Chain A
Amino acid sequence: MGPEIRSWREPHRLVLLAIGIGIIVFAAINMRWDWLPRYSGRLVEGVGTTLWLLFLTSALGFLLAVPLGLVQAAGPFWLSGPARMFCTVIRGTPLLLQLWLLYYGLGSLFAYWPEIRQSWAWPYLRSAWPYGVLALTLSFAGYEGEVMRGAFAGVPKGELEAARAYGMSPLTAFRRIWLPRAIHRALPTLAGETVLQLKATPLVATITVVDVYAIISRVRQDTYLTYEPLLLLALIYMILTGILVLAFRWLEAKVPVKGG
Chain B
Amino acid sequence: MLDWIADLASWELLALEPPGWGGVLLGGLAVSLQVAVGGYILGFLFGVGGATGKLYGGPILRDLLDVYTTLVRAVPELVLILLLYYAGTDALNQLMLLIGAERVDISGLAAGIFVIGVVQGAYQTEVLRGAFKAVPHGQIEAARAYGMSSLQVLRRITLPGMLPHAVPGLANLWLIATKDTALLAVVGVAELTLVTRQAGGTTKSYFLFFCAAGLLYLMVTLISNVGIRRVERYARRGMPAVR
- A residues contacting B by CB (< 8 A) are 1, 10, 12-13, 16, 88-89, 91-98, 100-101, 104-106, 108-109, 112-114, 195, 198-203, 206, 213, 226-227, 230-231, 233-234, 237-238, 241-242
Residues of A close to B74: CB separation below 8 A: 195, 237-238, 241-242
Do residues A109 and B75 form an inter-chain contact, with CB atoms below 8 A?
no
If A105-B206, A112-B3 touch, whether A92 touches B79 (CB-CB below 8 Å) is: no
Residues of B close to A237: CB separation below 8 A: 74-76, 79
Do residues B59 and A10 form an inter-chain contact, with CB atoms below 8 A?
yes
- B residues contacting A by CB (< 8 A) are 1, 3-4, 59-60, 63-64, 66, 71, 74-80, 82-83, 86-87, 90, 126, 175, 179-183, 185-186, 193, 196-197, 200, 204, 206-207, 210-211, 213-214, 217-218, 221-222
Do residues B210 and A97 form an inter-chain contact, with CB atoms below 8 A?
yes
Distance A201 CA – B76 CA, assembled complex (angstroms): 9
Residues of B close to A108: CB separation below 8 A: 204, 206-207
**Residue of A whose beta carbon sits closest to that of B130:** A1
Residues of A close to B80: CB separation below 8 A: 234
Do residues A96 and B1 form an inter-chain contact, with CB atoms below 8 A?
no
Do residues B193 and A202 form an inter-chain contact, with CB atoms below 8 A?
no
**Residue of B whose beta carbon sits closest to that of A242:** B74
Least distance between A83 CB and chain B CB atoms (Å) = 16
Max chain B CB contacts within 10 Å: which of A113, A203, A242? Answer: A203
If A97-B217, A108-B206, A112-B3 touch, whether A213 touches B196 (CB-CB below 8 Å) is: no
Do residues A96 and B185 form an inter-chain contact, with CB atoms below 8 A?
yes
Least distance between A145 CB and chain B CB atoms (Å) = 16
Least distance between B101 CB and chain A CB atoms (Å) = 22
Task: Using A92-B222, A234-B80 as known contacts, list a sample of 18 further A-B pairs with CB atoms less than 8 Å apart, ordered by residue number in A.
Answer: A1-B126, A12-B59, A13-B59, A88-B221, A92-B218, A92-B221, A96-B183, A96-B193, A100-B196, A100-B206, A101-B214, A105-B210, A106-B207, A109-B4, A202-B78, A234-B79, A234-B83, A237-B76
